[in-house]
Structure 1
Amino acid sequence: MPTPAIPDSVRDLVHLVRHRREPVVVQAVRSTAAAVVSYVVALALSSEPAPLTAPLTALLVVQVTLYATLTTSVRRVNSVVAGVLVAVLFSTLVGLTWWSLGLVILASLAVGHLVRVDEFVPEVAISAMLVLGVARVGATAWDRVLETLIGAVVGFLFNLLLTPPVWTAPAGAAITGLAARMGELLGHMRDGLTGRPGSAAFPQAAERLHEARRLDHDIVQVDAALRQAEDSLRLNPRVKESLLQRVVLRTGLDTLEICAVVLRVACRTLTDLAKARPHGSLYPEHVAAALHALFTHQATAVASFARLVTAQISVNAEQAEEDLARALDAARAARDRVARLLLEEVRDDPAQWQLHGALLAEVDRVLDELGVEKRTERLVEELDRARPRPEGVLARLTRR
């Protein structure tokens, strides 16, 4: 008996329910609700027939994190109030002409920089122009201030009572994706050693170098996702040990960034070696096979390190740490074998000894950065540096 087809509406509903906890979905629902509530409150308190400033303010204030909402609310309210005051001052002196409009915009932008509203500097000029362009300047100005305050308060209460989502999962996925791309690069470096003719060795090595340079763009994207996750952990009552989670993610990205730089240098070394050997393979077959195994273990270690950084519970963390330790042991054993084989190569052909030594040094640097002991030491240092010191807090209070 054939299975009945599932209607599209039911499939869409299942998909929506499955992704209802996605941070993007949660943020969209929260922003919409805050804008509607602020509009209803402004209708009751403001004399304007359509107080759209309140939902606009709430929509901009309800950021993805509580920490960002606190800082954004203050800056946005300051920008609107500053713009209104500039408009009221100019309306008492001059009317609305082309030159007075220019003076209002120039003065508003200058005031915006003076009150340090950062990205809301244009909002000062916008508020001033909107208020200056109406006939009843006084009433409209204070209605606009009231609507801005309503939107800011509603947005703040929404983030205070309905805690924003924690963005650690997208940050962890970004770190895992970066590790996967580094693993692909190591795989391509490994495949370029398997006895290719010298005529194709240099273009392939140059392509690997360009691929390594493209990792910089990936690191920038991961850093943006990580900053968002760090802000979502600050002042979040649902998160325990937020400092530890922030430090774990940040130090993990720092380590992968260092490894990416070292891999780029290793690709440069292989490119120089391919340039120096235009009519032969990079390495003999037995050396290429040993390097093949070494790069394979390195890729496994990078993937295990990413799993260790993004592990959320202790059981997963312990398993990831064991996997990383095994991968590093295998990589170090392969590294020692490669070192012995390269030493023999240098004795037979000492012309490129510096490139062989540089490649070994770059392998050692990656393995050292991924080491469990090195990571524990870095975590302790960063946690100690990030914790506020009592004497530092006392000194700041004394200055204030």
Structure 2
Amino acid sequence: MRDVRDTRAAALSGILSQVRERIARWRRLPEVVQAVRSTAAATVAYVIAVRVSPEPAPLTAPLTALLVVQVTLYATITSGVRRVNSVVAGVVIAIGFSGLVGLTWWSLALVILASLAVGHLVRVHEFVPEVAISAMLILGVTQVGGAAWARVLETLIGAAVGLGTNLFFAPPVWVGVAGESIEGLARRVRQLMLRVAEDATGTAPPVQATARLYEARRLDHEIVEVDAALRQAEDSLKLNPRVREGLLHRIVLRTGLDTLEIVTVVLRVIARTLADLAKAREPKPLFGPEIGPVLGRLLSEIGDAVVSFAVLVTTDVSRSAESAESRLAEELATAGATRDALARLLLEEVRHDPRQWQFHGAVLTEVNRILDELDTEHRTRRLLEELDRSGREQRERNPRLARLRDLVGTPRLARLRGLWPGGRNRATPPGRSP
């Protein structure tokens, strides 16, 4: 009997563990987070509007809250301001037209045209149709004044509730999701490099070499998806009270993705070169018995370095970042030695048979470009350049605020530059205190 109870308890514990893991995964999905937050904000806005608004069914308030609440705080604030501006502009237009003309087909056309024009002038962006909608709804009622101010009041309630939802319940920082996307892209690049390395060590028919080229081209679509995840992470860092030095995190992730995009482009060029070489040498192998294995080993080592680079870019903890940087430096040194050996073999091959020297030289050139992009010193220079550029843009955009920061303490740019000395001493990760 005890064995049966122990078995049931173990099975129940396993089920509960699976449920908790599934809930934890759901909580990390932007769609789930957005649905829960939007539902809660709309409900609270309706409850408040019922008690305050003179309208019997104040649905504008929950509608505004539903539209205002976004995945990130920055998007919530910008959408809230635009939404309120669009409603106020539409109400003002409707009040002006109601005092001059009634509701006819030509007056309705004038209201819509004027509302759309004003919407573009006040720069409400995606809420331009909302200006015309508000004006038409107000123009169609008999008590224009009461309905107009009731609609403005409900809009303000919905916007305030939506903003308060993100202020009191801070939205998640999507840096982790963007980091996983970047690491996933790096691993897919590595897998393709391994397949290209296998082709280089044997006799790859032109059809197979061309298939590798198509695989490299398909990586462009995955870069677009990773870029979308990174943009969401960048928005989640803006104006977020839980994030310190969000500018550095945005630059680190953005420059990391830019480097991976360059590596992907260069890999596509290598695949194209090998495809052309396979056609030129058919039915012979791509390379000789000595060159092929060395090139295959070099591409494998570069693939490992690409993954280590992605781990370095997405690692938040300083100690782990130092370990990732050391591993990347070792892998780049190993790949550099293999590259030198490959260069000597290719030089000897060209001396004996110069017919395909342009293909050999192209492969060696593209390999050097990848190693240069992954180099830690190159990355440090790139980060400092981006930090300098961001600092200049901020000073040009808000010169008074920049002077105030200089007077109060250490300039922000100088503090940010001190947080990335060659990949070490990383910034405090989002949501953690130093």
- TM-score scaled by structure 2? 0.85
1:318 aligned onto 2:322:
yes
RMSD of the TM alignment (CA)?
2.4
Q: CA deviation at 1:233?
A: 1.0
Q: What CA distance in whole angstroms lies between the structure 1 residues aligned with 2:180 and 2:237?
A: 17
- Aligned pair count reads 395
Aligned mate of 1:22, from 23, 28, 46? 28
In the alignment, the residues of structure 2 paired with residue 14 and residue 81 of structure 1 have an alpha-carbon distance, to the nearest angstrom, of: 46
Partner of 2:305: 301
For residue 154 of structure 1, the aligned residue among 144, 161, 167 is 161
Q: Partner residue of 2:428? A: none
Give 2:358's match in structure 1, choosing from 351, 354, 365: 354
Distance 2:287 2:358 in 1: 15
Cα distance between partner residues in 2 of 1:30 and 1:364: 49
Residue 192 and residue 397 in structure 1: after superposition, are their counterparts in 2 closer, same or farther (change >3 A)? Answer: closer
The alignment status of 1:368 with 2:368, answered yes or no, reads: no
- In the TM superposition, 1:57-136 aligns within 5 A as 57-136=64-143
Alignment of 1:195-274 (within 5 A): 195-196=202-203, 201-274=205-278
- What code does the residue aligned with 1:380 have? L
Change (3 A) 1:31 1:385: same
Structure 1 distance, partners of 2:36, 2:379, is: 39
- Cα distance in 2 between the residues matched to 1:381 and 1:258: 17
2:34 corresponds to 1:34:
no
| Equivalent position amino acid for 2:12 in 1 | I
State the distance in 1 between where 2:184 and 2:57 align. Answer: 47
CA deviation vs aligned residue, 1:93-150 (integer Å, no higher than 9, x gap)? 3433444333332222111111111111122122223223333332212111111111
Residue in 2 that maps onto 1:383: 387
| Partner SS, residue 251 of structure 1 | helix
The letter of the residue matching 2:374 is L
Partner-residue secondary structure (3-state), 2:200? coil
Quote the offset at 1:318 in angstroms.
0.9
Task: Name structure 1 gaps, 5 residues minimum.
Answer: none
Indicate conservation of the 8 Å contact 1:212/1:260, yes or no.
Answer: yes
Query: Where do residues 139-178 of structure 1 align in structure 2 (5 Å cutoff)?
Result: 139-178=146-185
Distance in 1 between residues matched to 2:126 and 2:15, nearest whole Å = 42
Distance 1:293 1:11 in 2: 42
Residues 242 and 321 from structure 1, CA distance in 2 versus in 1: closer, same or farther, beyond 3 angstroms?
same
- What is the identity, as a one-letter code, of the residue corresponding to 2:229? A
Pick one of 379, 399, 421 that aligns with 1:394: 399
Task: Report what 2:414 is aligned to.
Answer: none
CA shift digits 1:310-338 (9 cap, x unpaired): 10101110111111111111111111111
Local SS of the residue matching 1:93: coil
Q: Quick one: structure 1 residues 313 and 335, their matched pair in 2 at CA, closer, same or farther if it must change by over 3 Å?
A: same
Cα shift at 1:12: 7.3
Residue deviations 1:263-290, cap 9 Å, x none? 1111111122122223222112321111
Deviations 1:62-107 (A, max 9, x none): 1112222221111111111112222233333343344433333222
User: Judging changes above 3 Å, is the alpha-carbon distance between structure 1 residues 7 and 298 closer, same or farther for their aligned structure 2 residues?
Assistant: closer
Distance 1:242 1:48 in 2: 43
Report if the CA contact (8 A) 1:195-1:284 is conserved.
Answer: no
Deviations 1:132-170 (A, max 9, x none): 333333221211111111111111122222211101011
Q: Is the 8 A contact 2:394 2:402 kept in 1?
A: no
Contact preservation (8 Å) 2:88, 2:152: yes
Residue of structure 2 in register with 1:335 after alignment: 339
Q: What one-letter code is carried by the residue in structure 1 that aligns with 2:171?
A: P
- In structure 1, what is the Cα distance between the partners aligned to 2:18 and 2:75? 33
Q: Quote the Cα distance in structure 1 between the aligned partners of 2:175 and 2:131.
A: 34
How far has the Cα of 1:20 moved from its partner? 6.7
Structure 1 residues 348 and 267: CA distance shift in structure 2, 3 A: same
Quick one: percent identity of the two aligned structures? 62
1: CA distance between counterparts of 2:332 and 2:341?
14
8 Å CA contact retained: 2:68, 2:162: yes
Could you list the runs of 5+ residues in structure 2 that have no partner in the other structure?
A: 404-434
Contact 1:23 1:167 in 2 (8 A): no
Partner of 1:214, secondary structure, is helix
Counterpart of 1:345 (choices 342, 349, 352) is 349
How big is the shift at 1:395?
6.2
Query: How far 1:359 sits from its partner (Å)?
Result: 0.8
Query: Which residue type is aligned with residue 163 of structure 1?
Result: A
Q: Distance in 1 between matches of 2:185 and 2:290?
A: 31
Per-residue CA distance 1:5-61 (angstroms, 9 max, x = gap): 439995675346534752534443322222111111111110111111111111211
User: Which amino acid letter does the alignment assign opposite residue 296 of structure 1?
Assistant: S
